[in-house]
Structure 1
Amino acid sequence: MNEQVLAALRACRYRIVSDEAGLEEIRRLRYKGYLAERSIDPDESGIMSDAFDDMDNCVNVAVDLDGTLCAAVRLHLVTKDFPHSPTLTVFPEAGIEAEHGQTILDPTRFVVDPDARLQGVPLHFLALRIPMLATIFYDVDIALAPVRKEHVAFYSRYLRYTPMIGPRSYLGLKKPLQLLRADVKDQRTAVLARMPALGPVSEIPQAAIPFPGLWNVRSKSKSDAA
């Protein structure tokens, strides 16, 4: 699988999306993907959005394959100064470490184009690189993962997440999500030993992600891509 991900990285590009046209493209992809999985009801607007997209600690990252948007992930960096995020609205007790000075990463609205998925490209791994690289760039202590029960085994196997809180209704989704967490600084070495392609890949320049510096986040670097 690692070699398949490396091959896909050579054909993809990561970009930070903050302009309205780019965000609408992501919101339409979210709607398409979540509707295909029957996680939301049909809506004539054809978009999936919420107020969390507009928060100061939010970063939307897109994955383009051969010039076409094929996946996206939304990130929120939670700190003592900015304790709000989508998942902490549903699981507020998971934010206690931020009150004590740690940085929490909350990745949400993970989506892969259902049509592109049929091509056999490991798009889910390309998207999962986003939170992994974000934990490095932003010096994150804890990563959260709100997931459906059928995805728990995958997160445990590849990313060493552990169950934290049981299923709850989650922000307009028809299917409940449960919360997993990872102490990323303790787990990163083991994760990357198993799947090096999830981390920095210096020999493939386009595999880097140009994360922005955020004033309220404890970042090691304000200019270098992860």
Structure 2
Amino acid sequence: MSHFNSNSLFTGGIRGRTIMEAAAKGASAGVSSKADSLLNRTMMQLLEHVEYRLITGGEDLEAIYRLRYQSYLKSGMCGPIASGMFEDRWDNLPNSYRFGVYCYGELVSTLRFHYISSEQPYSPSIDAYPEVLLPRLARGETFIDGTRFATDPDAAPAPGVLPFLTLRIAMVASNYFGQDSVLTPVKVEHSHFYARFFNAVQRSEAKQFPGVLAPIALFEIPAGENMRRTLERFPFYNSTPMEQRLMFGNPAINRLTPLTILPTAKYYRTAA
């Protein structure tokens, strides 16, 4: 397998720290701007070797369930499971989208989404935080609920890139659905990343979350102007309408062959 050359991209000017660390800990606007620029250059190069797969069955589905299990077991999110796979009752809902992220042909991370509306109010966050979300659904708000985020750090092409590669799917989804906000149920100790890069706001205290052992708090990433600023700051999150339609135009729950989608951030300006 070819390896992404991260030496110059991840060390020059930031004293050996990863991009994420540099951007999150930057003490000045200049340091932060420099880290953002480095992140954008790195991610644009890396996206040349990435593909996203909308997975609905077959061996790829088993692979993301195994990745979930290995990641969750290592982090204490779940206990031993005889099958070695982690799946749940929300995986096969009609508003569910399961993705694998592949780099150089290898599975490196996975993420699942539910698009939630008053017509389809089904997702783990709805069950975990009904007091927060049901009144808003009744008012006509819509959400994307991102759950079951899992990574294989040993397969990462460079330090610190997997969250950005994986959560790019959320930005593509946001452009497609035009929802009011993205829901991100996470451990409170991980929330600084979502606040730093997406302006996420905490909406609940940490509590028992369906299917996992660790207490989880609900964070919300507002759409609209907030998403527009995020796309301007990080252009690798941009996507063409074609990429958006391929990812989310049809969940195709019964499809046995995964649908492979190539990132289109580099084509965004010419296709817009």
Give the TM bin, normalised by the shorter chain: 0.7 to 0.9
Residue 193 of structure 1 pairs with residue 232 of structure 2: yes
2:223 corresponds to which residue?
A: 184
1:222 corresponds to which residue?
A: none
2:94 corresponds to which residue?
A: 56
Q: Secondary structure at the match of 2:224?
A: helix
Taking only aligned residues, the RMSD between alpha carbons, in angstroms, comes to 2.3
Shift in Å, 1:16:
0.6
Structure with bigger strand share is: 1
State the alpha-carbon separation in 1 of the partners of residues 192 and 119 from structure 2: 33
1:210 corresponds to which residue?
A: 246
Equivalent of 2:74 in 20, 29, 36: 36
Q: Secondary structure at the match of 1:188?
A: helix
Unaligned runs of 5+ in 2: 1-38, 252-262, 265-272
Question: What is the 5 A alignment of 1:74-223?
Answer: 74-95=112-133, 96-117=135-156, 119-120=158-159, 122-200=161-239, 210-213=246-249
CA contact (8 A) 2:208 2:214 kept: yes
CA contact (8 A) 1:146 1:178 kept: yes
The one-letter amino acid of 1:48's match is F
CA contact (8 A) 1:15 1:210 kept: no
Structure with bigger helix share is: 2
Shift in Å, 1:201:
7.0
Equivalent of 1:12 in 50, 59, 67: 50
Taking structure 1 as the reference length, the TM-score comes to: 0.87
Q: 1:131 to 1:155 in 2, by over 3 A?
A: same
State the alpha-carbon separation in 2 of the partners of residues 108 and 50 from structure 1: 11
CA contact (8 A) 2:176 2:244 kept: no
State the alpha-carbon separation in 1 of the partners of residues 157 and 73 from structure 2: 16
Looking at CA atoms only, which structure, 1 or 2, has the larger radius of gyration? Answer: 2
Shift in Å, 1:97:
2.3
How many pairs are equivalent? 214
The one-letter amino acid of 1:67's match is G
2:41 corresponds to which residue?
A: 3
Q: Secondary structure at the match of 2:145?
A: strand
Shift in Å, 1:209:
7.5
> Aligned residues: percent identity?
29
CA contact (8 A) 1:107 1:144 kept: yes
Query: Which deviations, in whole Å up to 9, do the C-alpha atoms of 1:37-70 show, x marking residues without a partner?
Result: 2221122210001010010100111111111111
Q: Which runs of 4+ in 1 moved over 4 A?
A: none
Q: Secondary structure at the match of 2:97?
A: strand
State the alpha-carbon separation in 2 of the partners of residues 110 and 160 from structure 1: 19
CA contact (8 A) 2:95 2:114 kept: yes
Shift in Å, 1:123:
1.3
Q: 1:127 to 1:98 in 2, by over 3 A?
A: same
1:219 corresponds to which residue?
A: none
CA contact (8 A) 1:161 1:181 kept: yes
